[in-house]
Structure 1
Amino acid sequence: MEKARPLWANPLQFVFACVSYSVGLGNVWRFPYLCQMYGGGSFLVPYIIMLIVEGMPLLYLELAVGQRMRQGSIGAWRTISPYLSGVGVASVVVSFFLSMYYNVVNAWAFWYLFHSFQDPLPWSVCPLNGNHTGYDEECEKASSTQYFWYRKTLNISPSLQENGGVQWEPALCLLLAWLVVYLCILRGTESTGKVVYFTASLPYCVLIIYLVRGLTLHGATNGLMFMFTPKVSLLLTNTFELEDGFLTASNLEQVKDYLASAYPSKYSEIFPHIKNCSLESELDTAVQGTGLAFIVYTEAIKNMEVSQLWSVLYFFMLLMLGLGSMLGNTAAILTPLTDSKIISSHLPKEAISGLVCLVNCAIGMVFTMEAGNYWFDIFNDYAATLSLLLIVLVETIAVCYVYGLRRFESDLKAMTGRAVSWYWKVMWAGVSPLLIVSLFVFYLSDYILTGTLKYQAWDASQDDKL
């Protein structure tokens, strides 16, 4: 007899799980950059439109498929059609790629969190040179926050061709990060369900604290006006960020309260940018990714009163955001493996979880090398963008035209007790697939027109990125 699949303890726990996974590091380091780069309020207009016509319908679709099939990604799509097993496999592969590099951010957050208890903060001042006659030359040419990030944390090499060796301090932090992930997923839903209460709620508490503090700083009014005032000339700019959450939403296997994970994601992206706007003097140049998370934010934090407290809060928030995303990513890999009778008959779930974490940790050591940050940027930019769009497109077409929209509608009515609104059917059958195709063509043409792909490297002689 097939073992019953573990369920969430209550609906609230499921909602927290959705929020924990949908709100990730991109809300802190990518959305603020895009919002500033594309005119503040001008960016919010297309963003909210895409959230309504693309993000929410696709999220609902994935959750409904998971609830109906009650299997991992491979099993769910194989149930719809044996020819669609590859969709589930592709989802697992993309989640594996994301897990390989994503947890290194948690390792860096641990590193900064440990140093946040020092007074003064180690990135607030430049260190002395070897003979103690002045400050380190590289630090003086750049800034103390840049020096601490590129030299003390990464010990970065001049280029991608010079990989260098594994840096033992980030490597130990990466081991710690994967150990935390393993402990959180050890008992499956039983242990993960307790963790998501913290990973979903604590970041909002910290963001609200930062928001209140940011609104009291000089330039807050100007920043808010910039953010919420649309510039008509910029509304034609094409930009869109597709959340990684579509890959693992089917593993959550519930459909009620699906909107709870869409709206918190929106607000958690706006909150950090309101904070950024209030720190106007620190953000005169738009920057994204690790540069925003570990340089610009730390530059702002070091100038605050009781900077150690603000630093601890900030990096603890990053850890919670990163951990929540890692739980979802890891679940996307583990669920199909534990569903496999061949694997589960030979290994207990705890061993499978340990092997997945161990393999990812071993591969992730590449990102702790001297050239690791370059590899991180490459994976972050190209590992999942086009493939994710293609996967979601195939999923939407499969549900509407292979499984059948009317059949899917009947399933939803049986599960929820309510008829499906015409809005969702129109989005699933027509609008969402057309938009995904448009985005896919846009990204593909952008890659082609870009020509030779480039990356930014740190030049120690000039103390700047090239």
Structure 2
Amino acid sequence: MPSSPGSSTAVQMPAREQWSGQLGFLLAAIGSAIGLGNIWRFPGTAYTNGGGAFMIPYIIALLITGLPVLFLDYALGHRFRGSAPAVFRRVSKRFEWLGWWQVFICFIIMTYYAVIVAWALRYTVFSFTTAWGDDAAGFFSDYIGQTSLADPSTPAYSPVPILGVAIPLALVWAFGIFVVARGISRGVERANRVFLPVLVVMFVILVIRAILLPGATDGLNTLFTPDWSRLTDYTVWVAAFGQIFFSLSIGFGIMLTYASYLKRRSNLVGTGFTAAFANSSFEILAGIGVFATLGFMAHVEGVSVADLEGIQGVGLAFITFPTVISQMPGGALFGVLFFASFSMAGLTSFISILQVVAPAIGEKLGLSNGKATLAAGLPSAALSFILFSTGSGLWDLDIVDAYINYIGVVGSAIVMCVGLGLVLRRLKELQRHLNLVSDTRIIGGWWRGLVAVIAPLLLGYMFVQNVWSYATNGYDAYSAGLQGVFGWGVIFLVVVATIVFTRMPWRTPVDDYAPLNLDVLEEVK
């Protein structure tokens, strides 16, 4: 008879769903890592932080922070096999709250991430006729409803929904909930097996077309010409670590949750290297495509690439690129390829975020996967419509994204590294696990040092810098009231939700779990 929660006697847990194989997990991990940030964030970040010289801090950040924390996520999920809260509770009951913190960080992220994907879907349709004409900026402002506001130049919340945003947003949420509700192998894995190869093929075609445009060489020279003097600027290094950290989807539950569905004997280290370098390769590919296109735009307008505006973020994707599409031969096809690729990259990342929240809710409340997905998805979808599909959606999104990433996500990673490395001292156990389940034993003491000391120091600097900046100067030019609601207010909601769910009783025997016996595995190996 099963023992009650909290008993020290291990019992047979219900069978946990698994990926069909290593390839299915790898495709899902790469699909999660390759998202909107690869296409609209990396090129601009590289350009504004030294061009080709930026690749030096970028590679260093990948090696000393990105990969070590990625391996930590993999080891935690694979060894303790559960949602983020279940995993951290099994590590130590004192750290269950950290799992819920990660869950509700993802809950907030998916509310606005879905909106950006919805914009991309709608622009895929617009691309067939280049509906924005010669005024891409005005068209975008009109599409998201800013021009309908009483004062479009002053950021303020508007509750009026924008139908053109709400309809594709509903499709995004329906797709995400359907895929995650079908489970890991029949839903998430199948979606990535289709979307990821199609995304890569479409984007390669797009890049080839871009580099054949007049002026493309100037754009590439602008991106890759190194400004070595920038390497002495600490902000360049902060930007590199931030790019790697957010791009790999590490430190806030995604890779931890995905790894928990792997089979007992899985090559975690090899898969981690493959996923990380595939992500970075796609970022460089995106940089080539984006700056080749910007070079063409500068050629047409008779200016240098440096004189162009809107080379990253929303401006790049929904204003600069549509402007280029209108100017180039065969622009409609180029636009369809770009926005379809953009949409697919967003969808694969979106379902990975939802996959963090749904199983956590399901394990805590004892719900089936389908019911848990609805319980997680419907409230988040409602917030998407209320906050981000209105005329003020772009402003609301910008504030929430800044606070939730640079305070919520970075704070989560710091606590995870310090907690496991210096407080609980569990890194030797996790290091051994990584080596025993993988094909090679290359994870050594260097990994523990990077996770417990170097990563927290670097991320801690970023965290303190941003918290101090937001607290004293605010974020961008937004009013204190707007930041109080959508910035600090959202962080407060995550704190409250974390406390409430941590104190709630578990409906599943989460404590009755015995990790894989490493001594037995070592004897076999």
TM-score range, shorter chain: 0.7 to 0.9
Match of 1:379 among 390, 400, 424: 400
Separation in structure 2 between the aligned mates of residue 162 and residue 449 of structure 1, nearest angstrom = 22
CA separation of 1:155 and 1:442: change in aligned 2, threshold 3 A? closer
Determine helix, strand or coil for the equivalent of 1:383: helix
Is 1:320 matched with 2:344? yes
Residue 206 (structure 1) aligned to one of 199, 202, 207: 202
- Could you tell me whether the CA contact under 8 Å between 1:95 and 1:332 is conserved in 2? yes
Question: What do the CA deviations read for 1:182-237 (whole angstroms, capped 9, x no partner)?
Answer: 12112110211110123322222222112211211222223323322321221123
Question: Match for residue 282 of structure 2?
Answer: 268
Q: Which residue of 2 aligns with 1:49?
A: 60
Distance 1:297 1:337, change over 3 A: same
Secondary structure class of the residue paired with 2:161 = coil
Deviations along 1:143-188, whole A, 9 cap, x unmatched? x111210013434431333515111221111111101111211211
* Aligned-residue offset at 1:74: 0.3
The CA distance in 1 between the partners of 2:177 and 2:280, in whole Å, is: 29
**In structure 2, do the counterparts of structure 1 residues 438 and 180 end up closer, same or farther at CA, with 3 Å as the change threshold?**
same
Matches within 5 A, 1:179-328: 179-190=174-185, 191-237=187-233, 238=235, 239-240=238-239, 241=242, 242-243=245-246, 245-246=249-250, 247=252, 248-253=254-259, 254=262, 255-256=268-269, 257-278=271-292, 279-280=294-295, 281-282=297-298, 284-328=308-352
Task: Please point out which of 392, 395, 412 is paired with 2:416.
Answer: 395
Q: Secondary structure at the match of 1:334?
A: helix
2:378 to 355, 358, 369: 358
**Count of paired positions:** 432
Q: Which runs of 4+ in 1 moved over 4 A?
A: none
Question: Do 1:399 and 1:408's aligned partners in 2 also have CA atoms closer than 8 Å?
Answer: no
Asked if structure 2 preserves the Cα contact closer than 8 Å seen for 1:115 and 1:122, the reply is yes
C-alpha contact (below 8 Å) 1:40/1:229 kept by paired residues = yes
Aligned to 1:89: 100
For 1:111 and 1:224, locate their aligned partners in 2 and report how far apart those are by CA, in whole Å.
29
Q: 1:64 to 1:232 in 2, by over 3 A?
A: same
Aligned 8 A contact 1:18 1:260 in 2: no
TM-score, normalization by structure 2:
0.78
Letter in 1 for 2:373: S
Which residue of structure 2 lines up, in the alignment, with residue 147 of structure 1? 138
Q: Deviations 1:420-462 (Å, cap 9, x if unpaired)? A: 2343233223322222222223323443563574149xxxxxx
Distance change in 2, residues 1:310/1:442 (3 Å): same
Match of 1:131 in 2: none
Deviates more, 1:4-13 or 1:425-434: 425-434
Once the two structures are superposed, the pairs formed by residues 122-141 of structure 1 within 5 Å of their partners are: 122-125=131-134
Which is further off, 13-22 or 104-113? 104-113
Classify the secondary structure of the residue corresponding to 1:163: coil
Q: Does 1:426 align with 2:449?
A: yes
**Distance in 2 between residues matched to 1:109 and 1:270, nearest whole Å:** 21
The 3-state SS of whatever aligns with 2:140 is helix
Q: Does the Cα contact within 8 Å between 1:338 and 1:352 map onto a contact in 2? A: yes
> Which whole-Å CA distance do the structure 2 matches of 1:411 and 1:11 have between them?
17
How much does 1:371 deviate? 1.1
Q: Which residue of 2 aligns with 1:459?
A: none
1:168-179 map, 5 Å: 168-179=163-174
Correspondence for 1:17: 28
AA aligned opposite 1:249: M
**What stretches of structure 2 of length at least 5 have no aligned partner?**
1-11, 263-267, 299-304, 480-525
- State the identity %: 25
| In structure 2, C-alpha distance between the alignment counterparts of 1:258 and 1:72, rounded to whole Å | 19
Residue range with higher mean Cα deviation, 286-295 or 21-30: 286-295
For 2:438 and 2:159, the matched residues in 1 are separated by 56
Query: C-alpha separation between the residues in 2 aligned to 1:18 and 1:393?
Result: 22
Cα offset, 1:97, TM superposition: 0.8
TM-score, with structure 1 as normaliser: 0.87
Change (3 A) 1:442 1:163: same
Moved more, 278-287 or 81-90: 278-287
Q: CA deviation at 1:379?
A: 1.4
Alpha-carbon distance change, 455 to 298 in structure 1, aligned in 2, over 3 angstroms: farther
Cα deviation, 1:364-388, whole Å, max 9, x if unaligned, reads 1121111111111111222221221
Two-structure CA RMSD over aligned residues (Å): 2.0
